[in-house]
Structure 1
Amino acid sequence: MEQETNVVSASLNGIRNSPRKMRLIANLIRKQEIFKALDLLTYSRKKRISLIFKKLLLSLLSNWEKKYNQSSSKKKEFLYIKEIRVNQGKTLKRLRPVPQGRGHRIRKRSSNIIVFLDQKKET
């Protein structure tokens, strides 16, 4: 027997921030309810990264509404972030000149984010 789940996903690729910095914010909102996570992101110190996550969560909420044709706030109370993954994307390689005609490599990392939204059982 298959269990029916209400899982919806959203992803964002090629963000020009390193995955290590993105994971700091991702760990804050992992396993949180969607509206609590949005509040945490609003008052987070890392404004640029939290804005990216906030837009992604709003997109995720919109995807859920489109998939299940439900815009009632009663059902939205039970939505939570089931899983969030931050992976490394492409790395831009640049050279920085240093003394004696040498060059050191600068790696500008990017990241990919995947978020899954699920609905808790109503009690």
Structure 2
Amino acid sequence: MEVKAVTKYVRISPLKLRAPVEALKGKPVEEALNILKFMPLKAAGIISKTLSSAVANAEHNNELDVDDLIVKNIVVDQGPTLKRFRARARGRGARILKRSSHITVTVAETV
């Protein structure tokens, strides 16, 4: 059985969030949380919270054993972008894009 957790509108670029994701796919949940705990990235903390939420959903809503869960998939999609302007020389303005992300974590039972 698969269980999901979704975090939306996180104010960090999807490119920065995708960096630690490949190291987690297919790993047991406890090992994945340990890997994230020692990663020196802001993205690791955000993904860790979402992964913990997926584990809690599996345990509480579907009564699955936490020790048998693996990280099946993690998807990072782009959310809405805030568009801002910064003053530049000679009365011009430069566009600044403040990107946001949506994270979907799927955990499943090992067979």
Q: Shorter-chain TM-score: which interval?
A: over 0.9
In 2, Cα distance between equivalents of 1:52 and 1:67:
22
Rg larger in structure = 1
Size of the aligned set, in residue pairs, is 111
Query: 1:38 aligns to what?
Result: 33
Aligned counterparts, 1:1-123, within 5 A? 6-46=1-41, 48-70=42-64, 75-121=65-111
Residue 67 of structure 1 deviates from its aligned partner by 2.3
Q: More displaced, 23-32 or 84-93?
A: 23-32
Q: Which runs of 5+ in 1 are unaligned?
A: 1-5
Q: Which runs of 5+ in 2 are unaligned?
A: none
What's the TM-score, normalizing by structure 2? 0.94
Equivalent residues of 2:77, 2:101 under 8 A apart? yes
Partner amino acid, structure 1, of 2:106 = F
CA deviation map 1:65-89 (0-9, x unaligned): 122225xxxx322211111100000
What's the TM-score, normalizing by structure 1? 0.85
In 2, Cα distance between equivalents of 1:26 and 1:35:
15
Residue 110 of structure 1 deviates from its aligned partner by 0.5
Partner amino acid, structure 2, of 1:50 = A
Local SS of the residue matching 1:77:
helix
In 2, Cα distance between equivalents of 1:111 and 1:36:
25
Please give the root-mean-square deviation of Cα atoms over the aligned residues, in Å: 1.1
Equivalent residues of 2:78, 2:100 under 8 A apart? yes
Residue 31 of structure 1 deviates from its aligned partner by 1.8
CA deviation map 1:90-114 (0-9, x unaligned): 1000001111111010000000000
Query: 1:3 aligns to what?
Result: none
